[in-house]
Amino acid sequence: MVKYTSLSYFSCMNKHNFSAGPSILPQEVFQQGAQAVLNFNDSGLSILEISHRSKEFYAVVDEAVELIKELLSLPEHYKVLFLQGGASMQFDMVPYNLLPEGGVASFLDTGVWSSKAIKEANKFGQTSIVASSKEDNYSFIPKEYTIDASATYFHITTNNTIYGTELLEFPSSLIPMVADMSSDIFSRPMDFSPFSLVYAGAQKNLGPAGATLVILREDILGKTGRDLAAMWDYRTFIKENSLYNTPSVYAIYICLLTLRWLKAQGGVVEMERRNILKANTMYAEIDRNPLFYGQVNTEDRSRMNAVFRLHDETLEDKFMTHVKEYGIVGIKGHRLSGGFRASMYNALPLESVEVLVGAMQEFEKMQ
């Protein structure tokens, strides 16, 4: 058997990846994942070909679930699932499982992803929007609003990748609360006890595209009056430990490797310390540099996604060419918000932020 010896490739990579997702993951996770493609746990089989019904993969899922519970300090009665379809599938699956016909789902509208969730929920019941920052291009998080106490649940999006806002403090709600945490879960300690259901696409802080994390209380299920299709019923996957059908085996395995890395680094407490430092470094330069400006209210700035623009927009292409010389990739802003976006997820090192800051300072000198 030929031994795989080319993992040194990873050590010579010099890119600084600010992509919003799929995003940067720890280099050691890439190395371990690449090795497992050739030989998983010295089994002589690739992780890509092992059975999802094998005891080896059962062990992967079980360890991943236990690490999630530990890292997030989840209350014991919460269930943890690995599903597919990304957060977008959850825009349908949540109301399908929770919202009775004629029922009302209440939403805080803070960006594109919350507005898409609202659109899908309207297909299963009614929706009410307690507050929205849409008219101001989602440049802030609404603070003053009243949650409809008669609604079935209240939905928030904790971090808004496109417009660069984040809820660092969660609202209190007398009705079940649901959260899309796709882009800031595992980035800081959070109290999950107020939430009845949380979902997150993996491809930011947890793993690669292809896996979706769902955390929920089982007591909220089975109340819609619908005869639910098996593949769209959370209870199906609770009963089968996420293995009702063939799951995203490789994506879940990479999630496990990332969770191990997270724990070894010091967990979400250490991630928050690093993420605050990265965000402060980035925003300090945006505020200092006369060429650039931030796009959202200062108090609502996301630690995960810093969005910013040039005062002179004719310089955008020149700046994009400039940063390529530094090995910087993935900072072009979303087509809806324009400008630039520096996504600073857990695996992005402070060094990469410092390189981008240096590139911005050098660009300033060139003008």
15 is catalytic: no
CB 189 within 8 Å of CB 269: yes
232 is catalytic: no
Nearest-angstrom CA–CA distance, 256 and 326: 32
Nearest-angstrom CA–CA distance, 132 and 324: 37
Three-class secondary structure of residue 328 per DSSP: strand
Beta bridge partners of 200: 213
Tell me, letter by letter, the H, E, C secondary structure of 157-196. Answer: ECEECCCCEECCCCCCCCCCEEEECCCCCCCCCCCCCCEE
- Reported as type and span, the H/E element at residue 279 is helix 267-288
Q: One of 109, 180, 184, 300 is an active-site residue; which one?
A: 180
113 is catalytic: yes
Q: Which residues contact 333 (CB under 8 A, 6 or more apart)?
A: 307, 309, 339, 340, 341
Q: Which residues contact 86 (CB under 8 A, 6 or more apart)?
A: 201, 203, 209, 212
Give CA torsion, residues 215, 334, 341, 300, to 10 deg: -60
Nearest-angstrom CA–CA distance, 301 and 3: 47
Would you give the end-to-end CA distance of the chain in angstroms?
A: 58
* C-alpha of 363 from chain center: 31
Q: One of 109, 113, 184, 233 is an active-site residue; which one?
A: 113
Q: Which residues contact 228 (CB under 8 A, 6 or more apart)?
A: 96, 97, 235
CA 30 vs CA 22, 27, 67, 159: distances in Å: 14, 5, 19, 26
Q: One of 79, 109, 184, 204 is an active-site residue; which one?
A: 204
- Catalytic residue numbers? 113, 180, 204
